[in-house]
Chain A
Amino acid sequence: MSYHGGGGYRRRQNRDFDYHDRRQEVVSETPEDRLRTFIIRFGEVDPVQELQHFAEQLNNHVIENPANVSIISEGLRYAVTEQPYKVPYYATVLRLLYDTPAIKTEDAEGVSLGKQILDDFWKGFQSYLDKLAWRETRLCVQLFAHLTVAKVITAQTMYDLLHSFSAVLDEFGVPHGRAKKAALCAAEGLMVCGATIKEDTSANVFELISALQAYVDSTSDSKTLIQPIIRLYANTEPVEIANEILDSALSALQILNASDFSQSSESFVQPYKDVTLFAGTTFDLPSILVPPEVVELDTLSTESGEDALVKKEEWPEFYVRLFDSDVTPDPTTPAGYAVRSALLDTIDIFEINRKECARLLLEYPKWTLLGTFRPRPGAPPHEPITGKDWQLESTIIETILGALLLLPEPTHKSVYYVALITELCKLSPSTVGPAVGKSIRRLYGFLADGLDVELACRFGDWFAIHMSNFNFQWVWKEWVPDISLSLQHPKRILMRRAIDYEIRLSYYDRIVKTLPEPMQAPDNGLIPSEAPGPDFEYDDPANHYHDAAQSVLDLIRGRSKAEDVMTHLESLKNSLETTDSDANTDSIIRSIAVQSLLHIGSRSFSHFLNAIERYLPLLRNVASGSLTTTGSSNLEARIDILTAVATFWKRSPHMIVIVFDKLMQYQIVDPTDIVSWAFTSGGKNSTAAHPSISALLWDVVRGALDKANGRVLVARRKVATLRKEEDEKAALTLASNGTSMEVDAEAKPEVPAEESPALTTALKAFSILTREQKAVLSRTLDGFVDCLASATSPNPNAKTVVTENSWHNRANWSEAEWVTWETWGWYRHFCRMYSPYLRSYSTTLGTVSFAKIGNVGDPAVDAFKKIWNITTGQEP
């Protein structure tokens, strides 16, 4: 209540802005909208109670206006494809509508409403299929499967439908993404209606399952690259802490089949079974053909003819398992698969609104068989189902984290999953909080068993953002004993990183306060001894170049023109050459110039941008290796710039990544320079004999790779837009010339109208950028060869850490071994993350880098090549 005069009329600031402020402009609702909404909202109070009345209402709508059939069917399509948990209930509604007395309409006499709707619904399904909208297609198949059990759809035609999907697995060279999605359509349909199909003797359930089995068997190589645990030695044991999605589906089907699908009714709700058995004319699903993937017609090749169109590659999906099967369902069992699949779909569909998603996830038990989940505290108790009685919150968090921890990357941005968990915690802190805490401990435990390096980073990232939303409250105390582990042990790295990320989101003093005493001690290497900040090397008056640097600083501070600063640097250099003749004066001058600019810009990100923008000509000259004139390209000069940045920000490594990014943006350095730096100057600390890649350096490398790839993407789009514009213009000209449209397919561009200057420029940019893309990928691969498999300077640790014996002896690993192991992890990640590009350029890249690689038979070399071959789709 506020009575403070002027301010009183203002609504008290509500913290939940999105609900209260983000209201949409009021759009007047049509009767059609209302009908669709009515269908979508079905079941929200009690689906079973609502069934009869709901079906009657729909019937009334059609009596009122027969045209409503298509509105109902449309509403049903939205309802089914966006609310997977309600599918069995919508099946029941359709079943009931099959009983509704046939309504006489002019064109559909005597046809039940159910049949009319299903006819129309099929058209919608067909259009999802034509667009290869896989999730929508799959959820419709689930609906059909339930209708098959309800005896509304003929078992034979349902089998044919499933068979059409499993036939995709036999297509020659089928991409994994397509195979996976088609297989899931077949598998999930079969899980629901297997019993009905099996009763129908002519159909062959075995065939469907063995097709899936055969496909799953063929994917074992790529699995070694994306499983969440790093195993560098040859190993066929399945990973214990995760399940691959097709493996899970296959296993669930095998269990179901073994008991003739009697478990289906324990895994899926079948409300239609309480309705009298349907004995009327069954619906025959028309036959389908799964259309081929769309081939993009606008192909654009690189200069050397590689296809530059790169689609993200789809890999097998391993979902991390965090709890025992009595806490959360095992997804390799029918009931467990059903739960996880419904939750995953919900997480995916409601990505547009994480708050609603959180609410729906917590309401999920309502849509399952009673007894599946343990009742909420305070809710009326019910008889648990033996073998079920799972914990809802642990199941939800496990599923979300499973999706977050997919490799090479999650479906949506990581931060979505993180924000979703935050919302869940806000909705029900007392039940979700403990599940989150247990999950963190479990993941932390996996670190000692080889949790993938990328996943460890994602884990750290989640941890920090989560804590940032919940007052940075974590029981750090329980990890104190791990301070005795090797400095480079994954657990210590995780602690360091989590603290670092927390500090980035907050500030040093705040985070230090949250840590127990032993962790605060700077010699334990978990926290820096002071707040992160800049480090101007020449600040100390005792520094040999202090005065020189001060004079440069003064000029920049006084806003001197870039030319004047350059002239001054030139004269400094000349005088240094006479006094310090053995020093590398070029490097020193570069370092002074760059660090001075950074010093002026060190107050904030904006200050940095201002400083850089004001002195761009200076930086360009420095980068070209000269000072007062524009010289030609000079790698050494650019590496010096990067080293100066890293020196200046050494106590705030995050800034290195930010500054490097902008140096690329302003085109002072190229992505390839950054990668070169990371594998030479950046990756070499004074004690190590071999370069290595840490998570921070990987951030640097990834920033460069992404920049190069992003530029190609933008350039490609520009070319496509310009071409389209020109085609349209040409078509218009042709049309206005009176040429008939029919001949233009043949007669079109005999002589293409002269390329516009804009298009010429865009094509030129595209070819420069693809060349750069190839260069940066090549440099990275080269760098990893130097780290792990070099012929001239082999890294002995690279050999040992890939062996099984050594891995089992990891408790005794030194820092050098852990560092090498991590580098292997980043090499693996580089390969799988950029595999579409690597594959497309594999010939050139492989030839160049593998010329420097060691001999076959060396375990490091073999492991290196194996990973490369899996990536590029060759025999491993």
Chain B
Amino acid sequence: MAHVVPSLDQPSNYKDSQARIDRQKQNELLSKSTTLYIGNLSFFTTEEQIYELFSKCATPDEGGGIKRIIMGLDRNTRTPCGFCFVEYYTHAEALACLRYVSGTKLDERIIRCDLDLGYREGRQFGRGKSGGQVRDEHRSDYDPGRGGWGAQAQRAEIERRREVEERYMDAETGPGAVAGGGEDWKAAEGAENKLKRGRSPEDEDGDDRSGTRARLDDVADHDAGRM
């Protein structure tokens, strides 16, 4: 039902350039994805602010809701670097964000949302040389929400909100570093418990599968695919 204008929830040209899965498989995964990549965040925006805005698209009465939020961090400094992942329980909620939230403001910045293949270990970190997002290294405009003029000027401004900056100092790497957010309802103890658990794919599963694939000729950075 959209012959007159295109729907805003169509996939864009955003992609995870380090995904080692072919395009067709990626599209298939995206058509079921419950995860969003959120970009152009202020470095000072908190998960609670993100939760507040993105809960507007949640449908708990249909089994949905916000499963978890994974803040994108600078690999070196462990500080937010302007992106995050929001994971819902249902695909429809993610699509609703593309229609209603993407392109609106959060913390006085216009944010963008894109369907994502889903969080995998390590993706919470920026992929730029400096540790942040690649895009910011090429930035030449003044951006108060991200600490001044690109990578060089950032350091001075960062003092401004030490509290925010220190929040993720304890961020860990490796399996289990990022919480799951709670799975679907399971009947209490018993045989069926195991049965169900076997079916829910864990993050690590995804990794194992793709890890065995031959690496495609990815562009090395996370952001290049987005320009």
Contacts and interface: CB of A to CB of B under 8 A. Distances in A.
Interface stretch (B28-36, B65-73, B204-212, B214-222): B65-73
Nearest to A37: B3
A604 B61 contact: no
Given A605-B69, A606-B71, A713-B61, A16 B103 contact: yes
Given A504-B48, A710-B63, A352 B9 contact: yes
B227 A707 contact: no
B46 A36 contact: no
A610 B60 CA distance: 22
Contact of B7 (A36, A353, A667, A758): A353
B188 to A, nearest CB: 8
Please indicate which of the listed interface residues A11, A354, A665, A707 has the most CB atoms of chain B within 10 Å of its own CB: A665
Interface string A487-510: 000000000000001001111000
A613 B203 CA distance: 15
A16 B40 CA distance: 12
B197 to A, nearest CB: 12
Interface string A691-727: 0000000000001011101110111000000000000
Contacts of B14: 21
B65 A419 contact: no
B101 to A, nearest CB: 7
B130 interface: no
B60 A613 contact: no
A658 interface: yes
Interface string A203-219: 00000000000000000
Interface in A630-658: 654-655, 658
A82 B3 contact: yes
B110 interface: yes
B47 A10 contact: no
Nearest to A711: B185
A604 B185 contact: no
Contact of A662 (B70, B104, B182): B182
A21 B96 CA distance: 18
Contacts of A667: 185-186, 188
A311 interface: no
Contacts of B10: 22, 24
Interface stretch (A246-254, A319-327, A465-473, A742-750): A465-473
Contacts, number: 198
A610 B195 CA distance: 25
Given A604-B167, A765-B185, A468 B105 contact: yes
Contact of B65 (A78, A471, A606, A661): A661
A350 B103 contact: no
B52 A703 contact: no
Interface in A521-568: none
Given A706-B61, A765-B185, A7 B138 contact: yes
A422 interface: yes
Interface in A748-774: 757-758, 761, 764-765, 768-769
Contacts of A53: none
A315 B9 CA distance: 30
Contacts of B46: 507, 604
Contact of A415 (B3, B56, B62, B139): B56
A757 B99 CA distance: 40
A723 to B, nearest CB: 17
A668 to B, nearest CB: 10
A667 B183 CA distance: 10
B162 interface: no
B163 to A, nearest CB: 9
Interface string B77-121: 000000000000000000010011111111110101000000000
Nearest to B7: A352
B56 A17 contact: no
Contact of B104 (A22, A422, A607): A422
Contacts of B68: 605-606, 609
A4 B139 CA distance: 10
B2 interface: yes
Contacts of A469: 104-105
A95 interface: no
Q: Which 3 A-B pairs have the closest CB atoms?
A: A665-B182, A609-B179, A7-B138
17 contacts: A17-B102, A21-B112, A23-B12, A24-B6, A83-B4, A353-B99, A356-B5, A415-B57, A465-B53, A468-B108, A504-B48, A604-B48, A609-B179, A609-B180, A613-B180, A707-B60, A711-B185
Interface of A: 2, 4, 6-7, 10-11, 13, 15-18, 21-24, 36, 40, 78-79, 82-83, 349-356, 413-416, 418-419, 422, 461, 465, 468-469, 471, 501, 504-507, 603-607, 609-610, 612-613, 654-655, 658, 661-662, 665-667, 703, 705-707, 709-711, 713-715, 757-758, 761, 764-765, 768-769
Given A415-B100, A468-B106, 6 more contacts: A16-B103, A17-B110, A17-B112, A79-B4, A505-B49, A715-B185
Interface of B: 1-10, 12-14, 46-49, 51-53, 56-57, 59-65, 68-71, 96, 99-108, 110, 112, 138-141, 167-168, 178-188, 192, 195-196, 226-227
